[in-house]
A and B are shown apart, each in its own frame.
With several copies, the nearest count.
Chain A
Amino acid sequence: MNDQPDKISEINERNLRVLEAVLFASSEPLDVSSLLTYMGEGANIANLLVALQQRYAGRGVNLVQRGDKWAFRTAEDLSFLLRREEQKTRTLSRAALETLSIIAYHQPTTRAEIEEVRGIATGKGTIDLLMAAGWIRMRGRRRAPGRPVTYGTTDAFLDHFGLESLSDLPGLDELKGAGLLSNRLPSSMQIPLPFDGALRDDEGPLDPDDLDGEDKNA
């Protein structure tokens, strides 16, 4: 190194240090004019910022420009470090359990039908929760006024509850035998045979829009 630029590089190095510290400590991205207040006379802030940016390129932290402001940010490829997934086992709420059981026995069924059996409105959150749990799916749309979405259970549902197929769901007599249903029930009461095959005659396919998992009629 020759003598002359030594002085300049010393000042430069000092300014880089200050820039580094100020940008590190700032609680928000800083623009050039506020950075300038920390620099010595005649500092070429644009050059300094580029130099600092290059110095941090490829490091775990990068100097990034946001609009006309500058800030340190975690390198994009390391952003996964700042996310963590926590699994928590939770017991299904009563409402969700009721809705799920009705869908299981009555499938393909619509939200209105579920509400009819439950005698109470079923929140969209309950359906969403069961969808997120992976236990129910939208099958199609009922060929009826309003074309409501029909719901059915998934393979994950069978898997979780240890069923080989839907026909393993106990019928009326078995439920009575297990003491789950009272024997005093009227003989007119029937339990439907759940159906999880392809679309039934009264079902149409889902709309293309339904693919994002939203029930537009909800």
Chain B
Amino acid sequence: MTSAQTNWFDKPATPADDDILYVDVDGYEGPLDLLLDLARRQKVDLAVISVLALAKQYLLFIKKVREKRIELAADYLVMAAWLTYLKSRLIVPQAASDDEPPGEMLAAMLQFRLKRLEGMRVAVSQLMNRPRLGFQVYARGMPEPIEIAHISLWRASLYDLLKSYSIQREKGVTVDYAPLQRTVWSLQDASDILQRLIGDSFDWIPMDTYLIDYLVTPGERATIRASTFASSLELVRQGQIDIRQSKTFGPLFIRRHRSDPS
């Protein structure tokens, strides 16, 4: 890795003996690579290379490989077919009516492609032999990075602040909250009590009068009135009592229903 002519390709140096060439195609990166190698063996400038001779060599080489191993990448066979065609175009003189491109042009195209690939290979060598960063040329070994100090500017609105405070104070209150234990008259209880209070009284008496003892506690009035009223309707339906109200929101009068038609 020290000589100026470093071979940067991982391909091993091609053996000088042409006979060894037929052994394998694995060493080549495709048919163009193989053709370029064959062309180099002509030991002449690529510009004056005999494309006809090159085509013959390639076809011979492929034939030998196929005798050894049947499988061969399609690329190689396509190239072989094309070179066979090229060979025929080069050998058989061009007919005047022929629309096909002349053999010389096809040959020139192949030559151009070989030269171009060769050109890129030379370029790779030249590039890789330049004083490269990190191998022959160096960057600052102890870079001093820019330290960025992050300064936070905090943002909050007065509303957020007040809301936050209020939520916490309310949260603190609900911890101590105990629901009120209310006295609730069930419909059955109300019905039993009403039956008992009315007894056998057939006179119209305001409902509140019967309930007067129970309505002393203001907190319980609502439930007692509601339950009593609801159960009184049920008692009317059952034909146990009668209800009368003389005007809207007026007092409710109740009495025992007379069951006998007297």
Contact = CB atoms under 8 A, between A and B. Distances in A.
Q: Tell me, yes or no, whether A and B come into direct contact in the complex with CB atoms closer than 8 A.
A: yes
Interface of A: 21, 24-28, 71-76, 79-98, 100-102, 104-105, 117-120, 129, 132-133, 135, 159-163, 169-171, 174-175, 178-182, 185-186, 189, 191
A88 B113 CA distance: 32
Interface of B: 1, 8-11, 29-33, 75, 108-109, 112-113, 115-117, 119-124, 126-128, 130-158, 160-166, 168-173, 175
A176 to B, nearest CB: 9
A161 B127 contact: yes
Contact of A84 (B146, B152, B168, B173): B146
A72 B142 contact: yes
A175 to B, nearest CB: 5
Contact of B127 (A76, A104, A132): A104
Contacts of B155: 89-92
A37 B133 CA distance: 22
Contacts of A91: 10, 154-156
A139 B75 CA distance: 30
28 contacts: A28-B139, A73-B133, A81-B146, A82-B144, A83-B135, A84-B148, A85-B148, A87-B151, A88-B151, A88-B153, A89-B155, A91-B10, A92-B156, A94-B10, A98-B120, A98-B124, A98-B165, A117-B113, A118-B30, A119-B117, A129-B154, A159-B133, A160-B132, A171-B122, A181-B166, A181-B169, A185-B169, A189-B169
B55 to A, nearest CB: 15
Contacts of B137: 73-76, 79, 82, 162
Contacts of A180: 112, 115-116, 119, 162-163, 166
Contacts of B131: 76, 79, 162
A120 B30 contact: yes
Give the dominant DSSP class at A's interface.
mixed
B159 to A, nearest CB: 8
Given A24-B138, A189-B169, A170 B164 contact: no
A131 B262 CA distance: 93
A95 B29 contact: yes
Contacts of A94: 8-11, 29, 164
B145 A82 contact: yes
A102 B136 contact: no
Q: Which 4 A-B pairs have the closest CB atoms?
A: A119-B32, A79-B136, A120-B30, A25-B138
Contacts of B134: 84, 160
Given A84-B146, A180-B115, A93 B10 contact: yes
Contacts of A79: 131, 136-137
Given A25-B140, A101-B123, A120-B75, A182 B170 contact: yes
A90 B169 contact: no
A119 B33 contact: yes
B115 A178 contact: yes
A114 B132 CA distance: 24
A189 B126 CA distance: 27
A186 B148 contact: no
A102 B161 contact: no
Contacts of B172: 117, 119
B28 to A, nearest CB: 9
Nearest to B165: A101
A171 B130 CA distance: 12
B101 to A, nearest CB: 11
A101 B151 contact: no
B147 A84 contact: yes
Contact of B123 (A84, A86, A90, A169): A169
Nearest to B152: A90
Given A25-B141, A90-B155, A186 B75 contact: no
Contacts of B10: 91, 93-94
A84 B128 contact: no
